[in-house]
Amino acid sequence: MRMNVESFNLDHREVAAPYVRVADRKELPGGDVLVKYDVRFAQPNEEHLEMPVVHSIEHMTAELMRNHTDRLIDFSPMGCQTGFYALTLGVEPEAFLELLETTFRDLLDAEAVPAANEVQCGWAESHTLSGAKDAVAKFLVARDGWSQVEREAAQ
């Protein structure tokens, strides 16, 4: 039975993280196109990111990516702690991959997690700059394979 939530229709046993895929595309009545990306860091049901890592990557990417585009609508963590969703206004895959790589390289150079304080964040203690940098560095090492979503067939 087809479900309403796109990711619930994805066979999580068949994907091979890390990857980036278009999870959804919607054309709005005015002609604008929303493109939602699945930015998967960890292999589903085998590994996950710890919450302070997720929280810090979310803060840093949401802030830093907007230094390079005004077409990012949202960058949000997945509840399963294996990755993130990026919602964009018409950013096509090739451009999004470049934008993500540039943003993550900025993240590696960051000296602090933005807005990681009690005034600007609802759980300011739940951050780790070093953890975010470690996860992003690992993700960047796999850059050439980001477009390979499915596991390779057994030989």
- Report pLDDT digits (tens) over 112-149: 999 999 999 999 999 999 999 999 999 999 999 999 99
Residue 71 has pLDDT above 80, yes or no: yes
pTM over 0.85: yes
Strands of the 72-77 sheet, one edge to the other: 19-27, 33-40, 83-89, 72-77
Q: Which residue has the tokens 């999580």?
A: 12
Residue at 5 is within a domain: no
- pLDDT for 84 equals 98
Distance CA 72, CA 151 (A): 29
Angle at 91 between CA 88 and CA 97, to 5 degrees: 100
For the segment 77-126, what is each residue's pLDDT rounded down to a tens digit? 999 999 999 999 999 999 999 999 999 999 999 999 999 999 999 999 99
Q: What is the pLDDT of residues 57-68, one digit of tens each?
A: 999 999 999 999
**Total structural domains within the chain:** 1
Q: 153 pLDDT band (50/70/90 cuts)?
A: low
In this structure, is residue 151 part of a structural domain?
A: no
Residue 116 located in a structural domain: yes
Per-residue b/e over 17-27, b at no fewer than 16 CB within 10 Å? bbbbbebeeee
CA–CA separation, 98 vs 121, rounded Å? 28
68: buried, middle or exposed (CB in 10 Å: 19+, 13-18, 0-12)?
Answer: middle
The CATH number given to whatever domain includes residue 131 is 3.30.1360.80
